[in-house]
Amino acid sequence: MANIKIKLVKSTNKARESEKATIRALGLKKIGQTVEKADNEATRGMIKKAVNYVAVEEN
């Protein structure tokens, strides 16, 4: 299965609690941090929830 890189590009200071929880669940803590996750429906749903705060790069 393919992987995707997810990068936190914006501060979560004014984000809703549910968005903050989703970003933490993705493994992102600091601006500029990048994680690599499996490309599946669950991950895509999490990215859609936090679309204003993350950038996605497909491999």
* pLDDT tens-digit map of 12-55: 999 999 999 999 999 999 999 999 999 999 999 999 999 999 99
- Domain range for 41 is 3-58
Q: How many domains does the structure of the chain reveal?
A: 1
Please give the Cα distance from 18 to 24 (Å, whole number). 10
Instruction: Specify the pTM.
Output: 0.92
Q: Which of 11, 1, 18 is nearest to 48 (CA)?
A: 18
Query: Which residues are registered as beta bridge partners of 3?
Result: 38
CATH number at residue 49: 3.30.1390.20
State the number of CA atoms in the 13 A half-sphere of 2 facing the CB: 8
Tell whether the model's pLDDT for residue 1 goes beyond 80. Answer: no
